[in-house]
Amino acid sequence: MNYYIIIPAYNEAPFIALTLKSLTEQTVLPSKVVIVNDNSTDKTAEIVLAFAKEYPFISLVNKISDAIHLPGSKVIQAFQKGLESIDENYDFIVKADADLIFPPNYFETLIQHFNSDDRIGMVGGFCYIEKNGNWILENLTDKDHIRGALKAYRKETFKEIGGLKPAMGWDTVDELLCKFYNWKIKTDETLHVKHLKPTGVNYNKAARYKQGEAFYTLGYGFWITSIASAKLALRKKKPVLFIDYMNGFWKAKRSNKTLLVTEQQAVFIRNYRWKKIKEKLF
């Protein structure tokens, strides 16, 4: 299978060489790796160009942007810029972060999963972060969820869900829409990816409000948002975040913010979420 990787990058000079090195050492190499340099002020572009000279499948796309870095919109706008530069001769496409170290068999294993069942629409491994000299699971989500740092989509799936939404919640709505269109999602616990910069390390309070806004735009409604907010705040071991998330939800509701999904999809999502909650309770 041919696969393309698009990597949005903003000031990733400390990490991106390690990411690209791990990609050049894959047992099955990518057909294309596009790094979108999103107005970096460090040496990100220089590092990428040095790799591109040695590896023809690596290329650099520059994007000029003065938008502040908030989760969701900025990174997906950069991803879409990269998408404009590629053809459609791929079997699956990957959105990856610029601060990851992939094990050498990562993409070979993804290919095996995609080939095992033509209804598998998304596949991914798990992110691990360094803590006290050990690499431990970055446990921010359930194990049936693929982290936004390393999303891989079958081309047909990517097209049917409408690509990626440039808003916070994009890496949840993609999986919910996969379920809506009857695609399967496969996570592989054997695939340990080193995540060099923990998720959300640079996010401020405005970004935390965005999480509550995302729950609203996913069509969750008040009660599911409350449960999801409490769960996420506890997972991050910061209960006070619950207040930020709920404030973000109410702010989005008062302004009647546009949903990321249709009403039919929102009904499906709420029913699916309640089903998952009941399964865990009973």
Condensed to tens digits (0 to 9), the pLDDT of residues 126-169 reads 999 998 889 999 876 778 899 999 999 999 999 999 999 988 88
Q: Are 45 and 143 in contact (CB under 8 A)?
A: no
**Cα angle, residue 150 at apex, residues 7 and 203 outer, rounded to 5°:** 75
Q: How confident is residue 170, by pLDDT bands cut at 50, 70 and 90?
A: very high
Distances (CA, A) of 250 to 149, 192, 260, 272: 28, 37, 16, 22
Q: What is the mean pLDDT of the chain?
A: 92
Q: How confident is residue 12, by pLDDT bands cut at 50, 70 and 90?
A: very high
Q: What is the pLDDT of residue 200?
A: 55
Q: Is the pLDDT of residue 255 over 90?
A: yes
The burial class, CB within 10 Å (0-12 / 13-18 / 19+), for 157 is buried
Domain extents in the chain: 3-195, 205-281
Q: What is the pLDDT of residue 54?
A: 96
Percentage of residues of the chain with pLDDT beyond 90: 78
Please give the CATH topology (third level) of the domain spanning 3-195.
Spore Coat Polysaccharide Biosynthesis Protein SpsA; Chain A (3.90.550)
Query: How crowded is the C-beta side of 100, counted as CA atoms within 13 Å?
Result: 28
Structure token digits, residue 280: 């865990």
Q: How confident is residue 71, by pLDDT bands cut at 50, 70 and 90?
A: low
Q: Is the pLDDT of residue 210 over 90?
A: no
Q: What is the pLDDT of residue 113?
A: 98
Please tell me the distance from the alpha carbon of residue 23 to that of residue 252, in angstroms, as a whole number: 39
DSSP alpha helix (H) spans, the chain: 16-24, 44-54, 73-83, 106-116, 155-160, 170-180, 205-217, 221-235, 241-254, 263-281
Q: Are 38 and 8 in contact (CB under 8 A)?
A: yes
Q: Length of the chain, please?
A: 282
Q: What is the pLDDT of residue 118?
A: 97
- What is the average pLDDT across 57-61? 97
- What is the average pLDDT across 80-99? 96
The burial class, CB within 10 Å (0-12 / 13-18 / 19+), for 167 is buried
pTM for the full predicted model:
0.91
Q: What is the pLDDT of residue 68?
A: 57
Q: Are 88 and 163 in contact (CB under 8 A)?
A: no
